[in-house]
Amino acid sequence: MPDAIAPPITSETVSITAPGAVLTGTLTQVENPTLVVSINGATGVPAAFYQPFAQWLAVQKNAAVLTWDYRDFGKSGQPYRSKATMTDWAITDPTATRTWLETRFPGLPLWVIGHSLGAMALGFQPDTDRISRIISVAAGHGHITDHPLRARWQSWFFWYLVGPLATTVLGYLPGSRIGLGSDLPKGVYWQWRHWLLTRDSLPADPALGGLNDPGYAGPITILAADDDTMMPPASSWKMAQWHPHAQIECRLLKPADFGLKSIGHIHAFAPRNSALWPSLIAP
């Protein structure tokens, strides 16, 4: 029997108005989608990185899939004179993208797939009750002491020496020069640093306004890779505390189970690791 023919997909560049910013995204969709998905990226990871996964997902789920960049980052602007903070990235921008999707596709179920930052702040966002499903990948309740010993010294070096010094001198975090891939606004870096060096993490940051009550009560799939040294599985499982009314399932991803050499913190969405993509969205 011949293989099924995949439905055609289209991609368009879209502009999303958020308070104080205009975000740029790519909407990839089949002709008559029955599902809408927002892919919220990790800190410092451009939306273009998620585009192969978005194209695959649009076909697999008959969906319209939005990838987008946070304000003053990627295609949504430059970080060098930015006043953006992690609150903007964690709360304001993803809330605006959901509102935009709900307006563009009224009545369709909405999924949020969040990678690291893209999922960890959902418990602090408004109107999450309109989300049909949350999939969290490599996100959690992180603290510098949660890193494995072999990686902890690198974290201390970054958070206490290289990061603060470079950001103070240059007025932005030069991620492209220190091996983090992308430059970040200074306000994003400083608030990110506060989260990772504070025992109570995001709930202790008054800028986020506290956890929503009663909060999200739908299904959340929390996925963690067992070789992730930036957000170890135990840290990901802790995030369940921020969603006390949700229906939570925790899943551990092991590279060997998918014939892969590694997954780590970033590369669950990389095309080279596409063998695990069905497991990211499995019921």
Nearest by Cα to 184 from 47, 40, 20, 44 = 44
CATH of the domain at 88: 3.40.50.1820
End-to-end CA distance of the chain: 27
With respect to residue 124, please indicate whether it lies within any of the assigned structural domains.
yes
What is the residue range of 114's domain? 10-142+208-281
With respect to residue 17, please indicate whether it lies within any of the assigned structural domains.
yes
Nearest by Cα to 209 from 96, 126, 116 = 126
Rounded-to-integer distance, Cα 127 and Cα 5, Å:
38
Nearest by Cα to 253 from 232, 283, 221, 225 = 225
Sign of CA dihedral 192, 198, 201, 203: negative
With respect to residue 186, please indicate whether it lies within any of the assigned structural domains.
no
Confidence at residue 2, expressed as pLDDT on a 0 to 100 scale:
47
With respect to residue 198, please indicate whether it lies within any of the assigned structural domains.
no
Residue 171, sorted as left (phi over 0), alpha (psi -120 to 50) or beta, turns out to be left
Q: Which residue has the tokens 């991803």?
A: 253
In the chain, pLDDT over 90 holds for what percent of residues? 86
With respect to residue 216, please indicate whether it lies within any of the assigned structural domains.
yes
- Asked if residue 246 lies in contact with residue 217, where contact means CB atoms within 8 angstroms, the answer is yes
Low-confidence ranges of the chain (pLDDT < 50): 1-2
With respect to residue 170, please indicate whether it lies within any of the assigned structural domains.
no
With respect to residue 42, please indicate whether it lies within any of the assigned structural domains.
yes
Q: Per residue in 29-66, pLDDT tens?
A: 999 999 999 999 999 999 999 999 999 999 999 999 99
Confidence at residue 147, expressed as pLDDT on a 0 to 100 scale:
76
With respect to residue 221, please indicate whether it lies within any of the assigned structural domains.
yes
- Total tally of structural domains belonging to the chain: 1
Q: Per residue in 157-194, pLDDT tens?
A: 889 999 999 999 999 999 999 888 899 999 999 999 99
